[in-house]
Amino acid sequence: MLGTGELHISQSKYILDLLRRAGLSSSKPILIPMLSSLKLISDGSESYENPTLYRSLVGGLQYATLTHPEISFSVNHVSQFMKNPKQHHWSALKRIIRYLSGTYHHGLCFQKSTDLRVLVFADADWASDIEDHRSTSGYCVFLGYNPVFWCSRKQTAVSRSSIEAEFRCLADVGAEILWVLKLLQELGIPQPIAPTVYCDNLSAVMFSANPILHSRSKHFEVDLHFVQDRVFKGQLRVIHIPVDSQIADVLTKPLSTASFEKFKNKLRVVPQPTMSLRGGCKEPSCISN
């Protein structure tokens, strides 16, 4: 049983149905949904013989990210090849499903708390796509200790530098936060301090608070001005965080098993209490600041 004020949500039955549709009900579970060395490309193998099944399963996995945010990047990655999936895309998709076969009973743990600060972890993996060199943005929004929104997606334009990729992500985060703040205001939930965005790119953090523009920032001035304006108005705080504490890393790239497990736990994705968490959910140390 969960403790007082705790709630665990999962999609166990849905994921088991997904495993049956994929023909992987008896498959051996694996620890991570995507190898850290994997780089998918459009070609490289024969076409998969059942593209309809591929598209159906990718759609099913997108719904599963509602309680499994840790697979958001992997699902986003395989969804980019639905037009003409190849055999190696199918292999990558099966790996995600095999990961879920061992974690189908996992889900999000929410805990009642008086801490209602908006905390955001934002990151960008610069030029990560080896075909078009677009970057991947990832961010997760916490209300106190509970994750309420997350996103992993490829950016729509090529960034000429890592700081540009970071500011594209920060600008998207700023727009989302404005919507979240408006919703909280309508619900009568005041914010004691400005929403805090944790970013592991020190240059981006410094630029966000520096009104002086440099020649190297001319190519992303719109995003830069947008973020700086929110910071100067006190609507946003951008704070540096070490790379090994950046939760959004799991939303931008495939990670090693140790890093994946660490950030998965910090996203509060845990087993159902009746199976192995009798003590209930624990507060993650990552957002104690």
Q: Give pLDDT tens digits for 167-185.
A: 999 999 998 998 999 999 9
Give 83-116 pLDDT, tens digit per residue.
Answer: 999 999 999 999 999 999 999 999 999 998 888 8
pLDDT of residue 266: 96
> Which of 6-15, 179-188, 219-228 is least confident?
219-228
pLDDT of residue 215: 52
pLDDT of residue 169: 94
Share of the chain above pLDDT 90, in %: 69
Flag whether pLDDT at 10 surpasses 70. Answer: yes
pLDDT of residue 65: 97
pLDDT of residue 219: 53
pLDDT of residue 214: 56
Average pLDDT of the residues of the chain: 89
pLDDT of residue 224: 77
**pLDDT band, very low/low/confident/very high, at 47 (cuts 50, 70, 90):** very high
Contacts 24+ apart (CB under 8 A), 155-163: 155/124, 158/127, 158/132, 158/133, 158/134, 159/124, 159/126, 159/127, 159/134, 159/135, 159/220, 160/219, 161/126, 161/216, 162/124, 162/126, 162/201, 162/203, 163/201, 163/203, 163/204, 163/207, 163/217, 163/220
Give the whole-angstrom CA distance, residue 8 versus residue 203. 38
**Residue 252 or 209, more confident:** 252
Phi, psi angles (nearest 5°) of residue 23: 70, 30
pLDDT of residue 1: 41
Flag whether pLDDT at 6 surpasses 60. Answer: yes
Q: 87-103 and 72-79 are packed helices; what angle lies between their axes, rounded to 10 degrees?
A: 160
pLDDT of residue 210: 77
**Residue 133 or 281, more confident:** 133
Give 189-213 pLDDT, tens digit per residue.
Answer: 888 889 999 999 998 898 888 766 5
pLDDT of residue 35: 95
Residue 249: C-alpha distances to residues 89, 124, 241, 252 (Å)? 22, 8, 12, 5
Q: What is the mean pLDDT of residues 43-50?
A: 93
Flag whether pLDDT at 150 surpasses 70. Answer: yes
Flag whether pLDDT at 276 surpasses 50. Answer: no
pLDDT of residue 208: 86
**pLDDT band, very low/low/confident/very high, at 222 (cuts 50, 70, 90):** confident
Prediction pTM value: 0.89
Domains of the chain: 6-109+259-281 (no CATH), 113-244 (3.30.420.10)
Contact assessment for residue 253 and residue 83, using Cβ atoms and an 8 Å cutoff? no
